[in-house]
Structure 1
């Protein structure tokens, strides 16, 4: 490899095998470091608050909140482990060795799949709670939810182990030079992955939330039809319209955020191309995917009044007081 004068290498001592550092503007690089570091810190902080809240307060030990806890754990690990390493990749060089390279992508795939799986489980939980409320306490129990969460994580570990089997055996197989960490998913594997990790979950989420929306609207309209007094009709109409808008807005937020965060990452597979997580691609596709871990606690937890109350108790350190776990939080 001919080395041009003025070209910086990742490993200057390896003139013939080292990767070249990409040309970068110092101001833009510093801005990216600061922005992405803030996103990482925010992701860790928000999900840690969810974990502390649900784990500490006994009143929050419900099947639904257990699913939120599992989602928060996967998203917390994304912010704590994956985002900092992705920040290092902005410089265009990998200094952590081939073993860490393999483990990094394996962990990335596992946490992403687990996060999606938890989102599907949450949509199923809400579907049963709204569409079959009388049987919800018997069908959705803590034991069953714990089993589902464990199966979700176990499937993610096993499935991604199969997807990355060849890569894990030789983490440097796709590297063109020393100082690079790249994984390439071929078309067939990518098609299977995009179906199981993107298309199937989004279809399930849309179908279930649409069913929830229809049932919620029908219940509101049924209540409205039983109101005979004309003086109360205007108030009931307003309540119905508000409930319909709220249900539609929640559905829209869930689906739109999921699509925005996941579409760019899976676009190569959707377009029939090999999926490569190179440095340039990770700046946009992977980081947008990771941002979903920052938005999940906002979507699934910030809309709950108990979360705002638990934040106050946590920040003011009142959770350290004796008996604080039994405080009424709902």
Structure 2
């Protein structure tokens, strides 16, 4: 790829990383401090989990994507470990979305049991399970499904040139069959299909209830439908941003390196990372409670600026009086 194209790719990655960090910190602050008792609601706990994963994409995944593009030479084990971090964060996003879908489904279809199930303790156990499963699935290549050979097997067939380490790239250590058969089909597509079925059931049920509802319950059902639409939109955007990159991996596996140009691959990587920057915008535009929390944070920020300005002005007046 031309040098100017690589520079454009790097600049866009930096901008995406900054947007991921700022937007998702804002989401976490809005939910944790701006919405009263929000962490008692499972949906918002899982939204915080998703925001943490998206924030870590900006902090870790994007810098690693730029770094693991042949710019550094690392021992294969370290290169593999850093590459797996990206897989862990992707899996955490998928499982957080799945947990949100399950929560909305249970809330709608088992309202009597839901209050007993959706306690704060159970919710945080669910968040912990999501992250533990993400680590287990994302670090699977460390247990043997990777591209490089062990040092013992290499030592019998290599010469002194073996001490020259090749550049570290994602696909130099992560197996394409692993990415296609295990990660894409098993860890991404299977949960996405389950979530699609759950949201289909949710919308079908809500539509039927709205037809037969009384005016008192209609407002509550409409709020539930609006929230479900917003969360489904987050799911659709996740699929739209990540599936193209996985389809490119399928082409690389079945047709070889010539099937996907480097520029196209970089576009897919940028699109997948951009998903983590888009989610906070969706929350702000579509979820009323988060809109209100953003407003409260903004007012507090303006009040803090005003207070600082007054203190500064007051200190200047005092200094002028003392000087005279």
Q: TM-score, normalised by structure 2?
A: 0.72
Q: What's the secondary structure of 2:111's corresponding residue?
A: coil
Q: In structure 2, do the counterparts of structure 1 residues 39 and 186 end up closer, same or farther at CA, with 3 Å as the change threshold?
A: closer
Q: Which moved more, 1:272-281 or 1:157-166?
A: 272-281
Contact 1:194 1:270 in 2 (8 A): no
Q: Which of these residues, 204, 207, 218, is aligned with residue 217 of structure 1? A: 207
Q: Which of these residues, 237, 260, 265, is aligned with residue 257 of structure 1? A: 237
CA–CA separation in structure 2 for the residues paired with 1:73 and 1:257: 18
Q: What's the secondary structure of 1:93's corresponding residue?
A: strand
Structure 1 position 191, deviation (Å):
1.0
CA–CA separation in structure 1 for the residues paired with 2:103 and 2:274: 24
Which residue of structure 1 lines up, in the alignment, with residue 66 of structure 2? 87
* 1:115 is the counterpart of 2:93: yes
CA–CA separation in structure 2 for the residues paired with 1:317 and 1:96: 47
**1:31-50 equivalent positions in 2, closer than 5 A:** 31-50=8-27
Structure 1 position 128, deviation (Å):
1.4
Q: List per-residue Cα deviations over 1:168-212 (Å, max 9, x = no partner).
A: 986999x99733423332436631222222221111111110111
Which residue of structure 2 lines up, in the alignment, with residue 65 of structure 1? 44
Where does structure 1 lack aligned partners over 5 or more consecutive residues? 1-22, 228-235, 322-330
* 1:191 is the counterpart of 2:200: no
Contact 2:20 2:58 in 1 (8 A): yes
Q: In structure 2, do the counterparts of structure 1 residues 263 and 220 end up closer, same or farther at CA, with 3 Å as the change threshold?
A: same
Which residue of structure 1 lines up, in the alignment, with residue 253 of structure 2? 273
**1:110-189 equivalent positions in 2, closer than 5 A:** 110-166=88-144, 167=146, 178-181=166-169, 182-187=172-177
Number of equivalent positions? 282
Structure 1 position 113, deviation (Å):
0.5
CA–CA separation in structure 1 for the residues paired with 2:147 and 2:249: 21
Contact 1:106 1:161 in 2 (8 A): yes
Where does structure 2 lack aligned partners over 5 or more consecutive residues? 155-161, 305-324
Which residue of structure 2 lines up, in the alignment, with residue 54 of structure 1? 31
Contact 1:217 1:243 in 2 (8 A): no
Q: List per-residue Cα deviations over 1:286-316 (Å, max 9, x = no partner).
A: 3322222222333346422232232233345
Q: What's the secondary structure of 2:84's corresponding residue?
A: helix
Note the aligned Cα RMSD (angstroms).
3.8
Q: In structure 2, do the counterparts of structure 1 residues 86 and 209 end up closer, same or farther at CA, with 3 Å as the change threshold?
A: same
